[in-house]
Each structure stands twice: as structure tokens, then as C-alpha cells.
Amino acid sequence: MNPDRILQKLKRVLQALRYFLLRREYRIILRSGLFDSEYYRDRVPGLQNSEKSPLIHYIDFGVHEGKSPSPLFDPDFYRKKYGVAPSEDPFIHYLIVGMAAGNRPCRWFDPEFYREQCPGADTGGTAAVEHYLKNGRQQELYPNRELFSLSKKPVISIIVPVYNVSAFHVNNCIRSVVYQSYPHWELCLLDDCSSKEHVRPLLRQWASRDKRIKVGSLEKNSGISTASNAAAALASGDFLGFLDNDDELAAGCLARMVKALNEEDADLYYTDEDLIGEDGRQFSVFRKPGFNPELLLCHNYITHFVVAETALFHKVGGFDPAKDGAQDYDLLLKMTEQANKVVHIPEVLYHWRASDSSTSVNHEQKSYAHDAGKNAVKDALERRKIPAVVESGQWKFFYRVTRTLTHTPPVSVLILWRGGDKDVDWLSDLVGITSYPSVHYHIMADPSLEKVLAAATPDTVHILAMDMNSSEACLYNEAVGRIESDYVVFLAAQMDMSEADWLQALLRHCMESDVAVAGGMVRRNDESVPMTTLPDPGECSTVYYSRFVQDCSRHMNGLHCSQNVSALSWELMMADRNIFLDHGGFDEEHFPGMFADTDYCLRIGEAGYLAVFSPSATGELSAGHALQERDSGEAVAARVLFQKKWAGFLQAGDPFYNRGVVEDAGIDVSVFRAWYAGEHS
């Protein structure tokens, strides 16, 4: 027989077989009644103006693309949880096998618990899921025991200003609230006099389906702040959540929020978020640090998702129409000033839609928003009575705050010199570039070099003759005790500073009453392993480890941003001398060298003081050694001791560094934890 004819016949057989299988799947799904055509159509932008059946599209394409056929079914979760083969449709598996076995269709719906709670859904099969979708949601029944057992179950009012949004975007937005696992929510939709005719009827249609949805409208287009305030006026919940009309909440968002509400006594919460496309596919993830007030003055890193006590929102006056474009930034600055406690939930619970008009994609689209943000920062500083100048930063929506020095107290710069009587030209350069008017330079050196160094250095440099056999921590502690300035700078020898006002940059932070230390950025040319946001758990160097502990958060949050940090390096660090002495200085007994600076920063952090990193004080250190060459047995022992002493901090994680970036990068989190916190963790 002709091979071509055989091939053609085989193709016809395969097509017939596929058609038969598709018909079988089609019948199974139809009989279940769980395929939500409206939901699926809105999740697939290409179906908006197509006559193709959503079910046929799901069978032909959606299964392979990982799309969900129902708000209550999570194909990715189900496939991983129950070991469904990549070639198999997880939804079909659930309908044929999973329901009878009591499998969960998604992470948060527990059929067994639901039947216990709701006797009307105890007949098996699809009854529990169908009952929940048709009745249980609106009756505010709990889909799992964890939610049922919460002691605090407040109503969270989600406010959504709406203006000329596409039907499928706002449908997806509303569904992301309607199908939240936590039932005690209220959705307040406010139409800002949309010119598109479909908007207002669509909102009313949704309100007719669920009593928890409230709809209002403005008779004149008034802007996002006015519309948001009007939406908030509809709210009756104890807490407010803020959602844009084309964005979405993760299904477990409110449940996770309420869990935090039960664990933390705070009045403001925020989460991580991701950027999604038209069809909901993830583009990128935005991992955020714990509450970082200094970073918040640089840019709105909090953005979404935010939940705040309703009373706090009204206390600060809500949204300011004069800040439209940066109204959320202005609100956050005001609320964080008044909040008793701000809590970060390091989970991706908000999906920010990327669009041509969105600042998430096109920074030029809303240039007016940049100016509004700058004004929001100016107002915040005025409210806090902090004299400062606010300038545009390196990029759109980033700002640089320069505090005004009301006076110039004496500052002492301590430099530990273990070299000889040569190679001290860098010191003349340092003195020459530094513009601060009241500074004293102190070189800590061997007594035998006192006269030689005095002759070779500028007149403004004082020589502190000291026993160089002592440890670095011991020498610094002694030197601090011998000077009288209120502020002291620890500076590595042979540091070349880039800016004339580097001391002012540090002092502007250190003079704040709650700041104990401020540090700058050190550029090194000795990095055999470059420092980045992500760790290298395979790197055994203790010097690398030490620098990662100090630097990781600032790399994640942006080296161009002033920000709060947990630790700084004494290679370039200013300290409030009185606080330093009151807290015993460096722990010379346990950390004579390496980790002494980090240990001190963590101790003053426990005492309630802040540490600030400023990129405006930048130095270049060119006389270092490769990491491995400096990694002595003494340093390794110090690392072990450091990890034992600060086990709690290291296991919990630096609050300004989000470990989610480690997981997102595919690094084994357990391996990272062992490297970061020590094997004893």
C-alpha cells in the first residue's frame, strides 16, 4: 500500500479518535455544571469578540495553557497536589476521580469541612461545590476550618473607583472579590461618570447578584480621589482595602489579611504584588521590604494591596484630589505617619494589570503623577516638621530628599592605620574634598609612627597613638572614648570619597532623634564574588557572607535610594557617640573584628533605634584584598558565633529583605536558610 495513503488514513483515524475523546470530555464537563462560561470568556481576551464556544476553546487550548474553567478550580494547585500528568486535563480528573475522593478543587475549599458545616451539601458528588457556588458564598459560609476558627472576623470593605474600564477587566476585578475565600467582605463600586455606556448597567447587574456589593455614581467626572472618597463613604466595614478597577486580588488575599489581623495588632497592612497581562499571565513579581519609612520618602514602594482601619483612613482625611496621579502615595504617607503599627505580608496577593495607560508599563503616560508624588513628599516633610528639599530622583516616580542641617556640630572621623609612614596621600585628598566645616580627623596608629605621620599629613589630622596589637573593635572603642564630638565616623583607610558633602549626607540622617547610625555606599574593586540582591549559598567565604548580611536589602530596594537597613559596615559609618557609649560600643570580647559592626547595628535596632543607608555618601575602597585571602579561621569562628547569637533574627529574616526573591530565582530556600542562619537553625 502507498505510504502516503497509509499516513492519510492514520491521520483520519487519529482525528476521529480525538473528536470522540473531545465529545466525551465535552459531555463530562457539561453534565457537571461547573464550567463557568462567563468567567472563562472574561479570562481569555481573544474570546471577547468571538463566536467560538468558551468550552471548546478550553478543550482545544485552555487546558494546555493552564487556564481555569471555574473560579473554584485551580488547575496548577490541583495538578501539583494530586499528581496529575502533564498530558491530562486536571479538571476532567477532578470531575471523574477527584470529587468522589474528596479532593480539593483549589487550595482554600475543603469539601469535607463544608459538608460538616452545611448539611444541605452532604450528598457527595458535586453537591458541596455546587452548593457553595450557588448558595454558600452569599450566605457567607466558610470554605475551610481555618477561616471558621478565626477569633476576629471583621468586615473588609473593598473600595473601587471605576471609570471607562472595559467590561472584561472590571468583571475580572469584581470576580476576584466575589470569589474570595474569606466571606466577610463588602465591595463598594463608584462610577466616576463614565462616558462608556456599558459601565453603569454592568455595575448594577453585579450588585443585583450579591447583597455585599454596593454601587454609587457621580453625576460629573471628578477624578480618582473624589471617586475613591465617595466609594469609601459607601463602606461600613471596620477595614478598607483599595483596589483599582482593572486589577485583581488573589483568591486567598482577604483570608491572609484577616489571619494577619488576628496575629498582629496593627492598623495598616500591605502585601507583595505581581504584574499581569491582559489574560492574567504573570509578567513580573514585586517583592517588598518590611515597613521602611526612609524608603517610602524615596518612592511609593508599598503601592498594592493595602488594607487599613477605616478610622485611620478618615483620620487623615482620605484621598486628596490635589494629588490625583499620586493619591495613593499621598494617602500612604499620611496613614503611615498616624498608624500605630504597619505590617508587611510577604506574599503576592495583588495582581496589577499592565496596560498602555498604566504607570506600571509606561512611565511617560502619567508624567503629571510624578509631580504630584513630589508634592506628596513635600507635604509629608512639612507635616513632620522636617526642613528639606525634595528633588526628582534618577527615574520617574523616585525622589531625593535632602534634609536641611539646622546646625553643624563637630564630627570626628576615625581611621585605623596599620600601614607604614608611606602611602598616605589619599588622606590629603580626603581632607581636600570634604566640605564639612567642623570636622576632626583622627588617625589611630602605632606610637612609633606618630611623629612621622604627623609630618606627612595635613594639620587638621590628629594622630591617636594606640597599641596596634589590640583588635579593631577594641581600638575603635578606645578612640571613641578619647574624643568629644557628638558624632563619630568610622572610615576605612584609603577610602576615596566621591562627594564633597559626604559628611553632611550622613549627618542629615544621624541627627534625627531615632537614628543611631548612618552609612554610605562603598564601591570595592576587590570583589571576587560580586554582591547582588541574590545570595550565592555555595560561596563559603565569610567575608562574602558578612557583606551579604549588611548589603542584601539595599541591593533589593535600590542602591540609589536612601533607606532603612538592619546593618551597616564600619568601613563608612557615622554613629551618634552618646548612643554608642550608652550601648557599650562594639562587642570587643565576642566580635573583636568581623561582625562587630553588624552586631552593634542589630543591638541598637533591638533598642528601638534606626540605621539608614544613604547613597549620597559614596566612597571607593581600592586597597582591599580578595575575599578568600581575608577569610581566616578567626573569621569563620566569628561567623559561627554571630549565627548563634542572632539566630532569631537570621531565622526570621532581615525585615528589609524579602526572601521571596530567593524562591523566585529558583534557589533552594532550605539551602539558603542553612547558609544564612547556620546549620543549627
The mean per-residue pLDDT over the stretch 572-580 comes to 98
pLDDT of amino acid 527:
63
pLDDT of amino acid 37:
92
Higher pLDDT: 325 or 360? It is: 325
DSSP 34: -
| Model confidence, pTM | 0.91
Q: What is the CATH number of domain 150-366?
A: 3.90.550.10
Of 40-49, 72-81, 448-457, 565-574, the range with the lowest mean pLDDT is: 448-457
pLDDT of amino acid 421:
65
Higher pLDDT: 60 or 126? It is: 60
Distances 510 to 117, 433, 486, 489, 499 between C-alpha atoms, Å = 57, 21, 10, 11, 18
The mean per-residue pLDDT over the stretch 190-210 comes to 96
Distances 593 to 196, 516, 520 between C-alpha atoms, Å = 68, 21, 20
pLDDT of amino acid 628:
46
**Residue 286 — very low, low, confident or very high, per pLDDT cuts 50/70/90?**
very high
pLDDT higher than threshold 60 for residue 426:
yes
**How far is residue 247's CA from residue 230's CA, in Å, rounded to a whole number?**
19
- Tell me the three cell numbers of residue 393: 530622583
pLDDT higher than threshold 90 for residue 441:
yes
Considering the chain, what percentage of its residues have pLDDT values greater than 90?
76
pLDDT of amino acid 23:
64
If you search the block for the grid coordinates 481576551, which residue do you land on? 45
- Tell me the three cell numbers of residue 388: 528639606
Q: Residue 555 phi/psi, 5° resolution?
A: -65, -40
pLDDT higher than threshold 70 for residue 404:
yes
Higher pLDDT: 631 or 359? It is: 631
Considering the chain, what percentage of its residues have pLDDT values greater than 70?
91
pLDDT of amino acid 9:
63
**Residue 589 — very low, low, confident or very high, per pLDDT cuts 50/70/90?**
very high
The mean per-residue pLDDT over the stretch 284-306 comes to 97
Strands 156-162, 239-242: pairing kind:
parallel
Distances 493 to 331, 442, 500, 570 between C-alpha atoms, Å = 45, 11, 18, 11
The mean per-residue pLDDT over the stretch 504-525 comes to 95
**Residue 12 — very low, low, confident or very high, per pLDDT cuts 50/70/90?**
low
The mean per-residue pLDDT over the stretch 7-19 comes to 57
The DSSP-derived string for 91-143 is: HHHIIIIIHHHT--SSTT--HHHHHHH-GGG-S-TTHHHHHIIIIITTTT--S
The contacts of residue 199 (CB under 8 Å, 6+ apart) are 162, 163, 164, 165, 170, 191
**Residue 450 — very low, low, confident or very high, per pLDDT cuts 50/70/90?**
confident
Higher pLDDT: 47 or 379? It is: 379
Q: Do domains 150-366 and 411-630 have the same CATH topology?
A: yes
pLDDT higher than threshold 70 for residue 139:
yes
Which of these, 632, 493, 491, 611, lies nearest to 549 by C-alpha position? Answer: 611
- Tell me the three cell numbers of residue 563: 533607606
Which of these, 167, 190, 187, 191, lies nearest to 177 by C-alpha position? Answer: 187
DSSP 291: P
**How far is residue 115's CA from residue 129's CA, in Å, rounded to a whole number?**
10
pLDDT higher than threshold 60 for residue 67:
yes
Strands 248-249, 239-242: pairing kind:
unpaired
The mean per-residue pLDDT over the stretch 479-496 comes to 95
pLDDT, tens only, 654-663: 999 999 999 9
- Tell me the three cell numbers of residue 491: 572610615
Q: Residue 350 phi/psi, 5° resolution?
A: -135, 135
**How far is residue 560's CA from residue 554's CA, in Å, rounded to a whole number?**
9
**Residue 1 — very low, low, confident or very high, per pLDDT cuts 50/70/90?**
low
The mean per-residue pLDDT over the stretch 188-192 comes to 98
Which of these, 169, 198, 600, lies nearest to 351 by C-alpha position? Answer: 169
* 411-630: CATH topology: Spore Coat Polysaccharide Biosynthesis Protein SpsA; Chain A (3.90.550)
- Say which amino acid occupies 172: N
Q: Residue 18 phi/psi, 5° resolution?
A: -65, -45
pLDDT higher than threshold 90 for residue 583:
yes
Mark out the alpha helices in 210-252 (DSSP H runs). 224-234
Q: Residue 386 phi/psi, 5° resolution?
A: -110, 105
The mean per-residue pLDDT over the stretch 195-224 comes to 96
DSSP 534: S
pLDDT of amino acid 46:
84
The mean per-residue pLDDT over the stretch 58-83 comes to 93
The contacts of residue 23 (CB under 8 Å, 6+ apart) are none
pLDDT higher than threshold 70 for residue 624:
no
Higher pLDDT: 20 or 80? It is: 80
pLDDT, tens only, 333-390: 999 999 999 999 999 999 999 865 454 444 445 678 999 999 999 999 999 999 999 9
DSSP 59: I
pLDDT higher than threshold 50 for residue 593:
yes
**Residue 609 — very low, low, confident or very high, per pLDDT cuts 50/70/90?**
very high
What burial class does residue 7 get, using C-beta atoms within 10 Å of its C-beta: 0-12 exposed, 13-18 middle, 19+ buried? exposed
pLDDT higher than threshold 90 for residue 622:
no
Domain ranges across the chain: 31-107, 150-366, 411-630
pLDDT, tens only, 162-172: 999 999 999 99
